[in-house]
């Protein structure tokens, strides 16, 4: 195994590359309070050896971990939770009420992910999901506080990307661990104008209206930083939030526009439209990479965003049919 990639991003907060697909695509965070530790997001099961190596590099043992807190159960955020809990005997899992059953019994999550990725890619990229004993699971309701060695963290219900999504607010750093709620900002696509944010509309519960409400709630905290899973610490989120809000609106409008052209070939037309839209967004931000390079960096997101928007359109179709 290559040495783990990680860096301090605030006092007693480390960003760890979970090594999913490529470096710089997905991270998790290790937070320390009073000598006790919490992982916020976990990466996949295949990421767990990297997380264990970071603990050792920082002079900690797995026994020092009190909490494992996935922001939601998508595999790049919570897929490694079960295996990580096996390594960390004192840890409790903190999870959104709608995500708990999938951590206790991940069979439906595995089945759904197999449909999205295929069995071979699922195993290669993520590894097997490991169930978590129910007695080690604490359901985190909206506003729940987590005491990490005297460092208080708050769990906030933030639907929009997923209906079981929560963010974790850290008053000490005035930062928020946002999972996917504050979007994606890959460092390779930064330009002189700064980071380029876009919304991941990953299957299966994209809700543009709820997402805007979640952003309202996060910004009401007056955060000084956002800790993104994709990827790293963002400064001055107040200067960036409008870009993300527009990305949510634009992708919903794009999907509705594709749907207006009729059902024939809709999914493929949506893939083409999403790819063109996101590539154009990166170029408009001033990204110096050529189109092929941008598409390579966004390869996973182009596919998943299109799939998620198609599922959202199906839900819209059902609403229309019901009158």
Query: Once rounded to an integer, what is the mean pLDDT over residues 162-180?
Result: 97
| The pLDDT of residue 305 | 96
Q: At what angle do helices 266-284 and 241-260 cross, to 10 degrees?
A: 150
Task: Compute the half-sphere exposure of residue 295: CA atoms within 13 Å on the CB side of its CA.
Answer: 9
Q: Are the CB atoms for 78 and 20 separated by under 8 Å?
A: no
DSSP state at residue 134: G
**pLDDT tens-digit profile of 245-294?**
999 999 999 999 999 998 899 999 999 999 999 999 999 999 999 999 99
Burial 77-109 (b: 16+ CB within 10 A, else e): bbbbbbbbbebbeebbbbbbebbbbbbbebeeb
According to the model, what pLDDT value does residue 1 have? Answer: 63
Those residues whose C-beta lies under 8 Å from the C-beta of residue 105, and which sit 6 or more positions away, are: 131
Nearest to 176, CA basis, from 217, 135, 205: 217
Instruction: For strands 225-228 and 151-157, give the pairing.
Output: unpaired
Whole-structure pTM value: 0.95
Per-residue pLDDT band at 204 (split at 50, 70, 90): confident
Does position 140 have pLDDT exceeding 80, yes or no?
yes
Write down the mean pLDDT value for the chain: 94
Q: Is the pLDDT of residue 323 over 70?
A: no
* CATH 3.20.20.140 applies to domain 6-241: no
In the prediction, which pLDDT does 302 show? 96
Encode pLDDT of 93-133 as tens digits: 999 999 999 999 999 888 888 877 788 888 888 988 999 99
Start-end ranges of CATH 3.60.15.10 in the chain? 6-241
């Amino acid at each position: 195994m290559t040495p783990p990639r990680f860096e301090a991003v605030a006092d007693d907060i480390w960003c760890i590359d979970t090594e999913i697909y490529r470096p710089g695509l997905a991270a998790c965070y290790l937070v320390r309070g009073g000598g006790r530790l919490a992982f916020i997001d976990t990466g996949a099961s295949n990421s767990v050896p990297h997380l264990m190596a970071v603990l050792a590099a920082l002079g900690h043992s797995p026994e020092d971990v009190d909490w494992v807190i996935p922001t939601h159960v998508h595999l790049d955020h919570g897929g490694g939770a079960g295996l990580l809990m096996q390594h960390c005997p004192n840890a409790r899992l903190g999870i959104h009420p709608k995500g708990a059953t999938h951590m206790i019994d991940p069979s439906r999550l595995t089945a759904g992910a197999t449909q999205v990725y295929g069995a071979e890619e699922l195993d290669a990229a993520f590894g097997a999901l490991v169930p978590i004993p129910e007695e080690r699971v604490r359901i985190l309701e909206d506003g729940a506080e987590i005491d990490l060695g005297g460092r208080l963290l708050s769990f906030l219900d933030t639907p929009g990307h997923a209906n079981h999504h929560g963010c974790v607010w850290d008053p000490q750093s005035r930062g928020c661990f946002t999972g996917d709620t504050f979007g994606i900002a890959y460092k390779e696509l930064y330009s002189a104008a700064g980071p380029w944010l876009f919304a991941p509309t990953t299957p299966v519960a994209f809700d543009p209206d709820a997402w805007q409400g979640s952003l309202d709630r996060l910004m009401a905290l007056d955060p000084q930083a956002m800790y993104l899973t994709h990827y790293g610490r963002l400064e001055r989120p107040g200067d960036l939030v409008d870009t993300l809000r527009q990305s949510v609106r634009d992708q919903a409008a794009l999907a509705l526009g594709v749907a207006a052209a009729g059902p024939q070939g809709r999914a493929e037309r949506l893939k083409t439209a999403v790819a063109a839209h996101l590539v154009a967004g990166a170029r408009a931000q001033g990204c110096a990479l050529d189109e092929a390079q941008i598409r390579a960096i966004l390869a996973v997101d182009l596919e998943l965003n299109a799939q998620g928007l198609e599922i959202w359109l199906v839900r819209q179709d059902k609403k229309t049919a019901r009158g």
